[in-house]
Structure 1
Amino acid sequence: MTRKQRRLVLIAAAGAVLFFAAGLVLFAMRDTIVFFYGPTEITEKGVAPGTRMRLGGLVEAGSVQRGPGQRVSFAVTDSTSSVRVTYDGLLPDLFREGQGVVTEGVFEGAGRFKADSVLAKHDETYMPREVADALKKQGHWQPDGSAAPASPAAKP
């Protein structure tokens, strides 16, 4: 075997080992990878029930309903579509209607989402990047970081 052939075999073996290691890492992480969707994307892509994901958008005005115990139900919208979210637990202090929110949990189908955690924005200028990108794509993002009004009638 010549020197050039040995070098080529060594490079090929190192590439195979790296490819195998990357495959093992991705296989091990398959249960921890969570995808982000907005309400419109869920409708358009036809997300299968039982899919673990993150759902982000704005809390729809007038949609918050409190149930027995710490059960809360609300709608997350991007002004085009909305998904009904149920959550058992304490909501963040800054959670309120019209504000940006990211929920993580399981899509139950038929526009219903069961959340394990709810994250709200922490001040008037911050919104999670995924939510801001989705709102920009929909044309509902203001340069000052706030969401656009739901309709022209909402302006004073």
Structure 2
Amino acid sequence: MTRKQRRLTMIAAAGTVLAVAVGLILFALNDQIVFFQSPSDIVAKTIPDGQRIRLGGLVAEDSVTRGENAEVRFTVTDTVESVNVVYVGLLPDLFREGQGVVTEGVMKPDGLFYADNVLAKHDENYMPKEVADALKGKGVWQGKE
């Protein structure tokens, strides 16, 4: 083998090892990736059962109901479409109707979104970027630029 052939062989081997490593990392992280969706996105798409997603929007007025064992049901809306959410646990102190919220969980075949994590905005000037972008896209954004 000439010097040039050995160098090309080493570069090809390193590239192959790097490609395999990247592939394994992406495969391992596939279950950990959570995509943001607005209520309109969820209504328009078919989301596979058990796929974790992030649902964001505004908590609809007069939609919060509290049940037994810390169960809370509420509706998340982007003023175009709405998704009903079920959450069991303690809500953030700033959670209330009309506020921006991001929930993480899974959509079930019964049409309800079962959240295991709820994030509420922390003051009147902040809304999660994904929620603000989705509301701007629908033309209903009321906040500052």
TM-score over 0.5 for the alignment? yes
Greater mean alpha carbon deviation, residues 43-52 or residues 3-12:
43-52
After TM superposition, the structure 1 = structure 2 runs for residues 61-76 of structure 1, keeping only pairs within 5 Å, are 61-76=61-76
More divergent stretch after superposition (43-52 vs 13-22): 43-52
Question: Deviation above 4 Å: which 4+ runs of structure 1?
Answer: none
Report the secondary structure of 1:11's partner residue: helix
Write out per-residue CA displacement over residues 98-136 of structure 1, whole angstroms, 9 at most, x where no aligned residue: 110000111113531000010000011111111111111
Superposed displacement of residue 58, structure 1: 0.4
Between the two proteins, what is the percent identity of the paired residues? 63
Measured at CA, do residues 137 and 109 of structure 1 come closer, stay the same or move farther in structure 2, by a change above 3 Å?
A: farther
Aligned residue number for residue 6 of structure 2: 6
Return the alpha-carbon distance in structure 1 between the equivalents of residues 143 and 87 of structure 2: 31
RMSD: 1.2
Give TM-score, length-normalised by structure 2: 0.95
Q: 3-state DSSP class of the match of 1:24?
A: helix
Report the secondary structure of 1:109's partner residue. coil
Q: What 5-or-longer segments of structure 1 have no aligned partner?
A: 146-156
Q: Which runs of 5+ in 2 are unaligned?
A: none
What's the CA shift for 1:28? Answer: 1.2
Shift of residue 35, structure 1, vs aligned partner: 1.2
Q: What TM-score does the superposition give when structure 1 sets the normalisation length?
A: 0.88
**Is 1:97 matched up with 2:126?**
no
Counterpart residue type for residue 79 of structure 2: S
